[in-house]
Amino acid sequence: MRFKAGLWDFGGVITSSPFDAFNAYERERGLPENLIRRINATDPDVNAWAKFERNEIGGAEFDELFATEAAKVGFDVRGADVIALLSGTVRPRMVAALDACKTAGFRLGCITNNAQVGHGAGMSTNESRAAQMADAMSRFEHVIESSKSGIRKPDPRIYLMMCAALDVAPDACVYLDDLGINCKPAAALGMTAIKVNGEHQALDDLGRVLGMNFD
């Protein structure tokens, strides 16, 4: 077996994408589409979002810093509004795929950029949703959270941390993430990276790579 481990992002992969929630908020407020993503992509290593995910600042400071960044491009968006949009809903087919991979003998790890807000690693907004996310998280042998490690994707170190934790080489890993910028360092390290554009596409691609059927 060439592949020994499946490494998964959480938000936007195991759960629905926060980007959908961002876009809905933007439409409701009459803001340009993808404004929040554009702000988060500006100075991506040192902006409010990056500091928040590395736990260098708390929620109150993120609220102010993000509002300042939004104001610089001419819009009024509070960081607290963005925080409220982060938690998605668990995708049952993805959880079933985790179970299938585990049954097939693959090691499972999760690398997630998150912040210490809400309930648990999935930043849930209520306890019921937190329980569903905790159940999904329980499938993973090891979980690395940016807010606890102080390192966030796309820093290559966080991928190597997971390889060390699972005792697998990068080229023995399949990596799934909904952001291309996070897939690039994984691929550069030798992992087979799958950019998740949607649930069906991701499982089709994963099935082809692993020789499995997730229908």
The CATH number of the domain holding residue 108 is 3.40.50.1000
pLDDT of residue 116: 86
Q: Is the pLDDT of residue 127 over 80?
A: no
Measured in degrees and rounded to the nearest 5, phi and psi for residue 150 equal: 75, 10
Q: Are residues 105 and 55 in the same domain?
A: no
Q: Are residues 48 and 153 in the same domain?
A: no
Q: Are residues 27 and 126 in the same domain?
A: no
Within-domain flag for 176? yes
Q: Are residues 143 and 171 in the same domain?
A: yes
pLDDT tens by residue, 154-180: 999 999 999 999 999 999 999 999 999
Q: What is the CATH number of the domain that holds 39?
A: 1.10.150
Helical residues (DSSP H) of 11-126, grouped into ranges: 18-29, 35-41, 48-53, 59-72, 79-83, 92-103
CB-based contact 5:106 (threshold 8 Å)? yes
Q: Which of 83, 117, 137 is the last residue of a domain?
A: 83
Q: Are residues 192 and 153 in the same domain?
A: yes
Specify the number of domains making up the chain: 2
Q: Which residues contact 88 (CB under 8 A, 6 or more apart)?
A: 11, 12, 15, 16, 17, 18, 21, 122
Q: Are residues 122 and 45 in the same domain?
A: no
Q: Are residues 104 and 206 in the same domain?
A: yes
pLDDT tens by residue, 11-42: 999 999 999 999 999 999 999 999 999 999 99
Q: Are residues 78 and 184 in the same domain?
A: no
pLDDT of residue 87: 83
Within-domain flag for 138? yes
Domain with 70 in it: 18-83
Q: Are residues 116 and 50 in the same domain?
A: no
Within-domain flag for 215? no
Among the listed residues 182, 88, 94, the one whose alpha carbon sits nearest the alpha carbon of residue 139: 94
Q: Is the pLDDT of residue 122 over 90?
A: no
pLDDT of residue 76: 97
| Residue type, position 46, single letter | V
Identify the residue with better confidence: 32 or 130: 32
DSSP H or E stretch at residue 115: none
pTM over 0.85: yes
Q: Which of 83, 99, 125 is the last residue of a domain?
A: 83
